[in-house]
């Protein structure tokens, strides 16, 4: 079974360095595929597609990183996941990996009664096709993934109004608490994320459909 590591609340730059170290370790084959779960103090990160001219307006630390996408916010009440996965074992299919990562989050929020889905041409997970509950931005280093997803659980959504998250107006962002209308904590959500991660990326092998050996022997000698 793949490893899941919970870093609790951890500084973004410290986490970034530790994640990059794990990527090198995974590339060398010293560890297997690993999902890191973490919560960050308030920070804005900017992917390779830029910040849409608005990230600096937040007054928060702004950190350029190598992941795909535009700017996004990380902060308390948001569950961030960094899957360190070797795609060499998965046909080197980046699009499929992103789609499956979205599926993990779709299943997670469904556990709380929230129906969500994919939207063609838009990364992340959307409620009713118009409200974004989770963002996804990854990078790939020698076919090992880094960065990942940010699921809004009980995050302060007003922070997204200060810039253009993922290139959109901040009003598109939503959270599990907003959608359910009840308290939901990161501790509530972690088990669902882990279960969905294992089910989507590491399902148990299908049961064999071959007949029992005794039956097969009887047929072959009939």
Looking at the annotation, which residues are catalytic?
166
Element (H, E) at 45: strand 43-46
Structure tokens at 215: 């039956």
Beta bridge partners of 145: 140
The CA-atom distances, in angstroms, between 55 and each of 7, 21, 152, 166 are: 26, 27, 19, 11
Q: Is 151 helix (H, G, I), strand (E, B) or coil?
A: strand
How many angstroms separate the Cα of 186 from the Cα of each of 8, 140, 154? 10, 27, 8
- For the chain, give percent helix, strand, coil, nearest 5: 35, 30, 35
Q: Which residues of 157-196 are buried (b: 16+ CB within 10 A; e: fewer)?
A: bebbebbbbbbeebebbbbbbbbeeeebebeebbebbbeb
Q: For residue 36, which of 180, 147, 162, 176 has the smallest C-alpha distance?
A: 147
């Amino acid at each position: 079974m793949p490893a899941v590591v919970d870093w609790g609340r951890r500084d973004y730059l410290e986490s970034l360095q530790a994640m990059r170290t794990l990527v090198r370790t995974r590339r060398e084959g010293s560890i297997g595929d690993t999902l890191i779960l973490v919560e960050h103090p308030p920070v804005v990160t900017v992917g390779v597609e830029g910040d849409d001219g608005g990230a600096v307006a937040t007054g928060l630390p702004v950190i350029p990183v190598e992941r795909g996408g535009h700017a996004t916010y990380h902060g308390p009440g948001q569950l961030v996941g960094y899957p360190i996965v070797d795609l060499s074992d998965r046909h080197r299919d980046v699009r499929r990996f992103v789609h499956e990562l979205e599926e993990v989050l779709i299943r997670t929020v469904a556990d709380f009664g929230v129906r969500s889905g994919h939207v063609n041409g838009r990364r992340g997970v959307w409620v009713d096709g118009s409200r974004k509950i989770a963002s996804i931005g990854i990078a790939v280093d020698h076919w090992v993934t880094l960065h990942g997803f940010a699921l809004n659980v009980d995050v302060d959504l007003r922070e997204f109004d200060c810039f253009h998250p993922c290139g959109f107006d901040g009003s598109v962002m939503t959270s599990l608490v907003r959608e359910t209308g009840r308290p939901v904590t990161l501790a509530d959500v972690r088990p669902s994320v882990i279960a969905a991660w294992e089910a989507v990326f590491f399902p148990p092998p299908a049961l064999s459909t071959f007949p029992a050996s005794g039956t097969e022997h009887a047929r072959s000698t009939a």
